[in-house]
Amino acid sequence: MTDSKTLAYINMYAVLGTLENLCELDEEARGLLKNKKMISIGLDVAGGPAATLYFKNGYCRMEDGCSPDCTIKMGFSSCEKFNGMIDGTVTPIPSKGLLHLGFLLKSFMPLTDLLAKYMRPEPEALEDEHFFEISTKLMFYTITVAIAQIANHDAIGRFSASHIVDGDIYMGIKGACAATVRAKNHHLVTIKKDCGNRRSMMEFCDIHLARDLFDGKVNAVACIGEGTISMGGMISMIDNVNRILDRVALYLA
């Protein structure tokens, strides 16, 4: 079972937050924002997450909290309404910044559509190696951020997080991308880079293995036995993260 509040946190930070990485990796995404002056979208969900997306000259970054100075503000009366925007069943009306509606229609929405193309790709699209690599890297960042959101908000995820000691967990795809899941007082935060001070680690041998794992085509335990997934440090941390990963699949299905 899943709950709408946890899903809202995942949609905010793991899904929309991946727009940062999309703009870093994809030329078409950068083109949608080319020569754009700073414009920001504040997203405020009643009883749920709040964040601000900043866009400028080809790039995007997300900050926690809905900035009072945001250019465009969209408020949502419930987590369900916000989740509806993400799955396309709810059309939000900005409470601030209607003069910038053109940016929403011509830049923001095409960006989210492009992200969806990578996150839920057509099988034939994955035959292109460049598309395959971007898609897999974006999935990696989405999944690693979702781990923290589930650990902090989902009842089963919080139980697993309660058994994780303080420290940094490195997760990576060798030669491709990396993230750090930082645990402190059983609260998890994902940093989208290798912070270098690992207490435990889990690394996939290459991007093709990572994709097969994400798509459920191979068994993680078998991969560990074969050595295609490397693990080290305090293994109990990895064990509990893997339990949370099982929940990620339910929420992102």
Q: Which CATH number goes with the domain that contains 78? A: 3.30.1050.10
Same domain, 83 and 138: no
Same domain, 40 and 94: yes
Domain holding 179, by residue range, is: 124-252
Same domain, 102 and 133: no
State the total domains in the chain. Answer: 2
**Which of residues 102, 119, 136 is at a domain's end?**
119
DSSP H or E segment with residue 101: helix 101-103
Same domain, 193 and 222: yes
**Which of residues 119, 139, 174 is at a domain's end?**
119
pLDDT in tens, 118-174: 999 999 999 999 999 999 999 999 999 999 999 999 999 999 999 999 999 999 999
Same domain, 174 and 101: no
- Output the pTM of the full model: 0.95
pLDDT in tens, 203-243: 999 999 999 998 888 888 888 888 899 999 999 999 999 99
Q: Among candidates 134, 199, 130, which has minimal Cα distance to 169?
A: 199
Alpha carbon distance 196, 251 (integer Å): 29
Quick check: 200 and 170 in contact, CB under 8 A? Answer: yes
Q: Among candidates 196, 206, 200, which has minimal Cα distance to 183?
A: 200
Decide the pairing of beta strands 50-56 and 72-76.
unpaired
**Which of residues 79, 95, 119 is at a domain's end?**
119
